[in-house]
Structure 1
C-alpha cells in the first residue's frame, strides 16, 4: 500500500487512500475528494467510513486489544525503530504528499517527516522504559507485613483524532505512543489529509506493526463523534480546535481524554532583547506553514523603546520570505488549508485596519495563498488579538510595563505556549510563574517544540501533555498487586529486649 501511495504522489496522480479495517485496506463508503489548495485540483481521495464500518472497527479493536497487549515492550520498540528508519528513507516522497494535500512548502514538509522519524525513535525508547514500582507499604503501620507492586498496563482501545496542520507528526505522536503502550488504536484521519495519514499507517504496518494494532477510518466530524461515543473506546487523544474538542468531550462521556486544542500565542520582546534576532525568528516562526500552528507567533508585544526598531527589522525579514509553489524547494510560504481559511485572515486584517491598526504588509490573498500579513498596533478587542488566527498574520503591539504585558498575554482564553526575549533572570522566573501557559520559550518565540518534551496547555488550550513519555501515561493504567502476609520489608513493630 505504501508504495502505491508514494508512486501516485510522485506521478502527480490522485492518491487513493483507503480505510484500513480488520487487517485489510478497503472502504465501502462514498469517496471524498481532497482539493490541493495550491494546485486547485483533486490530489487525494478517500472513502468516508460507513456506520457499519465504524461499528465493525470498534468491535474488532475491542477483540484485538488483549492480543496486542501480549506483545512485549522490546518487540514494540523494535518495530517503532524500524518505522523511524523507514520514515527517513521515504522522507522526500512523504513530504511531497504533504505539499500536495496541504500546500505546505517542501522545506517544512521535509522537517515534519524528520520529526516523524524522531517521534517514532523516542516512542521506541519509551516503550523500553515502561515499568512500575515496589511500593514501601511498610512505611505505615497498616501496611506492615505486606508487599505492594504496580505496573503500567495498556488501556486497551485508544482513539487518535488528528488535525490537518501537522497530520504526519501528530499521528506519529498519538499512534506511536499508543502502540508503545501496548494498545490497539483507532485512527480518525483529518479529511484534508487522507493521503499522508494512510501513508504513515502503511509505513508502520510495513515496519512490523501487526494488523491487530491499528485501524484507520476516514471522514469528518460525524465519524469522529461516532468513534468518540463508542463504549469500547477506553482513551481518546484529540488535537484540534477548542470547539471541536468540547464536542469530542461531550460525545466521549466518562472516558479518559487528552485534548490539545487551540492557541493564541504571545511573544514578549523586552528592552534588553536582541531585537534583530527576535525579528528574524518571529518572521520565520510566524509564517511557517502559513501560520497554521496552535503555537504560531500571533501576538508580539514589544517594549515601546524598541517598538519601531523591531517593526523595521521584522518587516525586512518578512519581505525576504518567498511565497509560491509549495513543491519548489525555495518556497517559504505556500497555501493555507483552503480559501475559506485564507479569507478569514484577509477579513480580520481589514477589521483591524478599520479599528485603527496599520496593515504594513499583506492583507491580500490569491486563492488559498495569503500574503504574509503584518498588523501593527491593533486594539485589544480586535479579532487578531482576541481569537486564534491560525493563518499567515502576526499582530505587533507596543507595551510600557512588564507586569502589565503579562496580564495582556493572560487575557486570552487560550494558554498553550509563550515566547520571551530577555536576559533578565528575574523577568524569566516571574514570567514562568505568572504566564498562564503550558510552556515558556526564553529567547525564542512561542513557536518552538521538541518532540520529546511535554507539550500542552491550560484554559481552552486543553489538558494532558503530548510527547511519547507523557502520552504513554494517558494510554496506560496503573495496576496494583498486594501480597498480604508476604513482605520484602521489615515487618517487626518492636525489637526484643536484650541486655545491651
Structure 2
C-alpha cells in the first residue's frame, strides 16, 4: 500500500520539511496507511498572516466566479467519488456504504454553496417610515466578514469540511482550516481537489495538529468568525479564548426518538437500527435514547433486536458491511465502560456489548437509569437505550430533561399528537415518523442548549459568515 501524506498548506505551499510527523493507522487493520506532518506555532502564525492578507483579494472575486469554482469542485468530486469514499473508510473505519453517501452529500453541499454565492441579497429601506427620513433611502448588502476559522471533527470528515469551507468561500471570505487529527488525509485530499477546481491558493490555509494549534487560531484577533463542530468541553474553551468574535458551534447531543403506542413498530425498529448504528453511532444526532410506550415495549424490543442482529459487522472497505469501527481503540474502551456501568446500575443487556479491537458490537440496553452515562451524556458510539414511558407528557418531559437539544424523532399516526410533541420538544429539529438521525444538507441544522449556537446548511451558514452593510442616500431637501 502506498503511504499517503497529510500536510499543512500555508500561503500557497505544502509544508513538509523539518517538521514532526506521526503515523496514521487504519482503526480496522492497525496498519500504517499514511503520515501526518504537524504544523509548528510559526506555521500557524504564517497561516494566520496569509489568511488575513488575502481577505480583500478573496472578497473581490465576483460571485459568479466563486460559484463556478465551487460547482467545478463538486463535479470533480463526483468523478472521484469511489476514491474519496475508500479513503474515508480506510482512515476512519466508517463502512463504505456510509462513506459513499457522505461523498454524495459533500458533492451536494459544494453545489449548494455555489448556488448560494449568487444569492447574497439585501433590500431597500424607505426612510419615510420616520418623520426624519422623508428625504432618505437605505440599501443593505451582505459583505464578507473577512477570515473564517473552520475547526472540523472526525466523524464526517469530508462533508463537514465542505459545510464550512464551501459557505465561507461562497460568501467571499478567506479560510484557515484545522481538521481533526484523526482524519487529516481526507482533508488534505479535498484541498487538492479544490485547488484543481480553481480555488485561489490564498483562499484556504490548512494547519494540522492538536489542541494547542486550535487555541492559537481561535484567540487570534485576525479571525472574524470561528465555525466549530465538536464537543462541549472544547466549545467552552473556544468561547473563553475567542474574545470579541462571532462563534458558531455545532456540538453534540444525546438524541431521543419517541415510539408511541400507535406507531408502525416495524418501521420504527428498522429505522432505529439503521440510524442508531451507522458509523458506529458516531454522529451528533445518532439515535441514543428511545422512549417507547410501555404497552409496546416487549414487541418493539424484539423487533429492534431482530433488526440489529441483521447488521453485518466487519471490514469497512467491504460494500456489504453495516458496522465498522470506532475512531480508535480508546473510544471502544470508553463505550465498553459505559455499557458495563449501565448494566451495574440495573439496565438489561439485550444484545451486543462486546469489543473486538476498535469495534464494539451494536448494543441495545433496556431501561437504564437516567443517571447512567448512556442516558444523560452523549454516547457517540453503538449503543441505543430503550426507556419505557406511560404518557406522552412523560416522554416529552424526559426528552427535554437533558443539557442537549439537537434533534429528536417521533413515531405516531396521530397528527394532533405529533403537532403537540413537535412544539413541546426543546430541540433544533423534530423528525415526525423518522428518527433523530435525518438531515438534508440544504436545511438549517443546529440545536439549542449545549447542542450549539447558529445553524449549518450553506444558506444559513452564509448568514453568519457575512455582515450587513447599509448605505444611505440623503436626497436634497426641496426649498
Map Cα deviations across residues 232-284 of structure 1 (whole Å, 9 max, x no partner). Answer: 00001000001111111111111011100111000000111100000000000
Match of 1:248 among 238, 256, 265: 238
Does 2:195 align with 1:205?
yes
Deviation, structure 1 residue 415: 0.4
Partners of 2:340 and 2:49 lie apart in 1 by: 50
Map Cα deviations across residues 181-224 of structure 1 (whole Å, 9 max, x no partner). Answer: 00000000110001001111111111111011101110011111
Match of 2:64 among 74, 82, 90: 74
Partners of 1:461 and 1:221 lie apart in 2 by: 21
Partners of 1:176 and 1:131 lie apart in 2 by: 18
1:8 counterpart residue number: none
Does 2:330 align with 1:340?
yes
Q: What pairs up with 1:20-99 in 2 under 5 angstroms?
A: 20-27=9-16, 28-99=18-89
Partners of 2:43 and 2:135 lie apart in 1 by: 53
Match of 1:165 among 143, 146, 155: 155
Q: Which runs of 4+ in 1 moved over 3 A?
A: none
Structure number with greater Rg is 1
1:141 counterpart residue number: 131
Does 2:434 align with 1:444?
yes
1:495 counterpart residue number: none
Map Cα deviations across residues 367-414 of structure 1 (whole Å, 9 max, x no partner). Answer: 101100111111111111011000011111111110111110011110
1:239 counterpart residue number: 229
* Structure 2: tracts of 5 or more residues without a match: none
Report the CA distance shift for 1:343/1:486 in structure 2 as closer, same or farther (over 3 A): farther
8 Å Cα contact 2:122-2:142 kept in structure 1: yes
Deviation, structure 1 residue 33: 2.1
Deviation, structure 1 residue 486: 5.8
1:307 counterpart residue number: 297
2:110 counterpart residue number: 120
Partners of 2:183 and 2:238 lie apart in 1 by: 20
- Secondary structure class of the residue paired with 2:181: coil
Partners of 2:119 and 2:181 lie apart in 1 by: 35
Partners of 1:176 and 1:368 lie apart in 2 by: 32
Match of 2:365 among 345, 370, 375: 375
Deviation, structure 1 residue 166: 0.3
Deviation, structure 1 residue 13: 2.4
8 Å Cα contact 1:146-1:486 kept in structure 2: no
Report the CA distance shift for 1:486/1:243 in structure 2 as closer, same or farther (over 3 A): farther
8 Å Cα contact 1:147-1:486 kept in structure 2: no
Map Cα deviations across residues 34-69 of structure 1 (whole Å, 9 max, x no partner). Answer: 221101122222211111111111011111100000
Partners of 1:481 and 1:44 lie apart in 2 by: 52
1:15 counterpart residue number: 4
* Structure 1: tracts of 5 or more residues without a match: 1-11, 493-500
Partners of 1:307 and 1:101 lie apart in 2 by: 38
- Secondary structure class of the residue paired with 1:34: strand
Map Cα deviations across residues 134-184 of structure 1 (whole Å, 9 max, x no partner). Answer: 112222212110011110000001100000000100000100000000000
8 Å Cα contact 2:126-2:136 kept in structure 1: no
Does 2:287 align with 1:323?
no
Does 2:290 align with 1:273?
no
Partners of 1:330 and 1:404 lie apart in 2 by: 39
- Secondary structure class of the residue paired with 2:202: helix
8 Å Cα contact 1:377-1:397 kept in structure 2: yes
Please, which moves more after superposition, 34-43 or 72-81?
A: 34-43
Report the CA distance shift for 1:393/1:78 in structure 2 as closer, same or farther (over 3 A): same
User: TM-score, normalising length from structure 2?
Assistant: 0.98
Please, which moves more after superposition, 377-386 or 183-192?
A: 377-386
Partners of 2:130 and 2:153 lie apart in 1 by: 48
Does 2:387 align with 1:402?
no
Partners of 1:415 and 1:163 lie apart in 2 by: 19
Does 2:93 align with 1:103?
yes
Does 2:176 align with 1:174?
no
8 Å Cα contact 1:269-1:421 kept in structure 2: yes
Report the count of equivalent residues: 478
Partners of 1:43 and 1:477 lie apart in 2 by: 42
